[in-house]
Structure 1
Amino acid sequence: MAALTIVANILANPDKIELVKNELVKLIDITRAEKGCMNYDLHQDNENPAHFTFYENWETRDLWQTHMSNTHLADYMAATDGAVAEFTLSEMTKIG
């Protein structure tokens, strides 16, 4: 089975940028230690500091699904409730 690439875009409300950023940063080390995580990299847009992107690679979709059900993601969702204006996620496969 091919590895899974995830591109997640998070747009924070303008008055909640630092809150969202701090909560996203908390996810990095714990997620990188998870089984199947090949990389988990957080980026912040240089022109729009409210826009964050996670670029992730997982050994399998099943291992990513396990990640998605972990407590630390539920904690993030609770901590940022009402602070995120938009969230999009793409599941992708590397082709070249």
Structure 2
Amino acid sequence: MAKLTIVADITVKSDKIDIVKAELEKLIPTTRAEEGCQQYDLHQDNDNPAHFLFFENWESREAWQKHMNNQHLKDYQAATEGMVEDFAVYEMTHIA
């Protein structure tokens, strides 16, 4: 199985930054403990605080898909419903 890199690109409503940031931070310890998670790092844009990126590395696509179906992600989605303006996920392959 090939290692999978994920870049999750999240832009939130400007009046919801603190709420969404707190909810994103809650995901980190649980996700890092998941089987197959090699990296799960959250970043916030220095020029646009409403823009967040997760950089993730997973042992396999299967491990990432299992992560995507976990309850803590469903809880995050429920807690931030209507607060996210844009969300995109990019599946990447490490080259060098």
TM-score in terms of structure 2 length: 0.99
Match of 1:72 in 2: 72
- Paired with 1:20 and 1:51, the residues of 2 have a C-alpha distance of 11
Q: How does 1:79-94 map to 2 (within 5 A)?
A: 79-94=79-94
Q: Distance in 2 between matches of 1:70 and 1:63?
A: 11
Gap regions ≥5 residues in structure 1: none
| Number of positions where the alignment pairs a residue of Structure 1 with one of Structure 2 | 96
CA shift, 1:43, in A, is 0.2
- How far off its partner does 1:95 sit? 1.2
| Matched residue, 1:48 | 48
- Runs of 4+ in structure 1 deviating by more than 2 angstroms, as ranges, are none
Q: Please report how far the alpha carbon of residue 21 of structure 1 lies from its aligned counterpart in structure 2 after TM superposition.
A: 0.2
Give 1:2-17 correspondences, 5 Å limit: 2-17=2-17
Structure 2: segments with no counterpart, 5+ residues: none
TM-score normalized with structure 1 length: 0.99
Identity %: 64
> Structure 2 CA distance, aligned partners of 1:20 and 1:86?
13
Q: CA RMSD in A?
A: 0.4
In 1, distance between residues paired with 2:67 and 2:79?
A: 18
Over residues 40-82 of structure 1, what are the superposed CA-to-partner deviations in whole Å (9 max), with x where a residue is unaligned?
Answer: 0000000000000000000000010000000000000000000
- Specify the code of the residue in structure 2 equivalent to 1:73: L
Question: Any idea what SS the aligned residue of 2:87 has?
Answer: strand
**Which residue of the partner structure matches residue 63 of structure 2?**
63
Aligned-residue offset at 1:30: 0.2
